[in-house]
Chains A and B, each alone.
Chain A
Amino acid sequence: MSHRPFHWYRYASPQAFYPLAGRMIPWFWALAAIFGVAGLSVGFLIAPGDAQQGEGYRIIFLHVPASWMSMFLYLVMAFWAGLGLAFRFRLSSMMASALAPTGAMFAFLSLWTGALWGKPMWGAWWVWDARLTSELILLFLYLGFIALQAAIDDPRRADQAGAILALVGVVNIPIIYFSVKWWNTLHQGSSLNLARSSMATTMLYGMLLCALACWMYAIAISLMRARRIMLEREKDTLWVRKELGF
């Protein structure tokens, strides 16, 4: 998602970025579909069963990409928000606001799939282990960002306030993660530690393909939402009127 338009300044204005994003979105949808089908087929059809966890482990093909995306999108959101705060680029603040709902959705999906994975493995829907708990807190951070931006009417102030919250949140994520981990180390360690991958390579490819699919999906959906925000905020300008044929 951190693609940087090549002519940075030419596309920094919403007016120039709107049509460009419009052209790119179908491509990202196509990529998301291709990676999705590939990842799922590897994960669900080709990959062998796991020794102890049987077939239930296949949930990681959904759980891990979702967790990755929820974490990654928060970092990207904080990046765009910080840029918007520092340089007053309205476009990057809009991008941050566009990313937040998708990030929140991935955080919720990560919790949902984590719970459904935990039930057969550990016998309980919700287990207070370090990663699930910090995922829950990450969801709260997302909801806080969205609620703050919704509560402030003036778009510029909403952007800047949201940016500060996102930056403070980013600084706190490692602290929260390690304090939760310190508090409870029930979780079986990170399931994808590239150094000693305890999984067959096919599983690894399956997961990476699913992650790419989620990433393409996130780019496409946030570009669409960014375009919607642009229309909403720039509705008094002439280029929006021309865009709508007036």
Chain B
Amino acid sequence: MILAVIARDLRLALRRRADLAAVLFFFVIVVSLFPLGVGPEPERLREIAPGVLWVAALLATLLSLPRLFADDFRDGTLEQLALAPLPLGLTVFAKVLAHWLVCGVPLAVLSPLLGLQFGLSGEALVVLSGALFIGTPALSGIGAIGAALTLGVRGGGVLVSLLILPLYTPVLIFGAGAVDAAVNGIGVEAHLSLLAALTLAGVFFAPWPAAAALRIALE
């Protein structure tokens, strides 16, 4: 049943490739703006690269969050999902996974390309992509709570960022920390393991409050 929900979301996302592309272009544009603002010195760029790439990934995920529930809420399919004989938490878990596949994975795949702009070494690029790969599920999971809370609320898009960015800080710290450690050549295992812990917590615990928030929104 969970696979049915995941397959459904993936098929819907593929039918609307424009949204998908918009999120990725946003990520590329935001990252490419920084060198223009900060200046071309490779040394400084290499220093700020982890932070810039991670914050851009954060914002890109945030941009695509409302899409997680808003369309289903508007055309009534969210009610049917809530009435499916499946715990709502699992349905939300499936949607978070689908959102991660559609939004998180492309970010992780694309990031090494953009890392080159900042002069990151090969090894750092691998760690960057790996950290993003591990971290983005947590972004989707925690973001689902924000998306569910602000469902059908006016000004919801802006509100999501205010609600969710504080909760994103641990993921940002460990994610950017991992890449920073790689750039400086020190061990990344500690960062990545903590990031993985956050992701597990995010993906397995976040859907339940999100489901509760959905139930309230559907009242």
Contacts and interface: CB of A to CB of B under 8 A. Distances in A.
Interface of A: 85, 137, 140-141, 143-144, 147-148, 151-152, 157, 160-161, 164-165, 167-169, 172, 175-176, 179-180, 182-183
B170 A147 contact: no
A169 B162 CA distance: 12
A157 B150 CA distance: 11
Contacts of B217: 157, 161
Contact of A164 (B149, B166, B198): B149
Interface in B191-208: 194, 198
Contacts of A175: 170, 198
B156 interface: yes
A140 B153 contact: no
A160 B219 CA distance: 11
Interface in B117-131: none
B165 interface: yes
A140 B162 contact: yes
Contact of B149 (A141, A161, A183): A161
B213 A161 contact: yes
Nearest to B212: A164
Contact of A141 (B166, B198, B209): B166
Interface residues of B, number: 26
Contact of A152 (B153, B166, B170, B194): B153
Contacts of A164: 145, 149, 209, 212-213, 216
B110 interface: no
Contacts of A137: 166, 169
Contacts of B169: 137, 176, 179-180
A176 B166 contact: yes
A169 B156 CA distance: 19
B174 interface: yes
A180 B213 contact: no
Contact of A176 (B150, B156, B163, B170): B170
A246 to B, nearest CB: 32
Contacts of A165: 145, 149, 163
Nearest to B149: A161
13 contacts: A137-B169, A140-B166, A144-B163, A147-B162, A148-B163, A151-B150, A157-B219, A164-B212, A165-B145, A169-B166, A175-B198, A179-B173, A179-B194
Task: Identify whether the interface residues of B are mostly helix, strand, loop, or mixed.
Answer: helix
A11 to B, nearest CB: 26
A116 to B, nearest CB: 24
B177 interface: yes
Contacts of B165: 140
A179 B167 contact: no
A34 B169 CA distance: 40
Contacts of B156: 151
A168 B217 CA distance: 17
B159 interface: yes
B182 to A, nearest CB: 16
Nearest to A136: B166
B57 to A, nearest CB: 17
A169 B209 CA distance: 11
A98 to B, nearest CB: 20
A48 B152 CA distance: 58
A167 B205 CA distance: 13
B15 interface: no
A167 B159 CA distance: 18
A179 B174 contact: yes
A176 B209 CA distance: 18
Given A161-B149, A164-B149, 13 more contacts: A137-B166, A140-B162, A144-B159, A144-B162, A151-B156, A160-B216, A168-B145, A168-B167, A168-B209, A172-B170, A175-B170, A179-B174, A180-B173
B185 interface: no
Nearest to B176: A183
B17 interface: no
Contacts of A161: 149, 213, 216-217
A144 B167 CA distance: 11
B138 to A, nearest CB: 11
Given A172-B167, A180-B173, A148 B150 contact: yes
Contacts of B216: 157, 160-161, 164
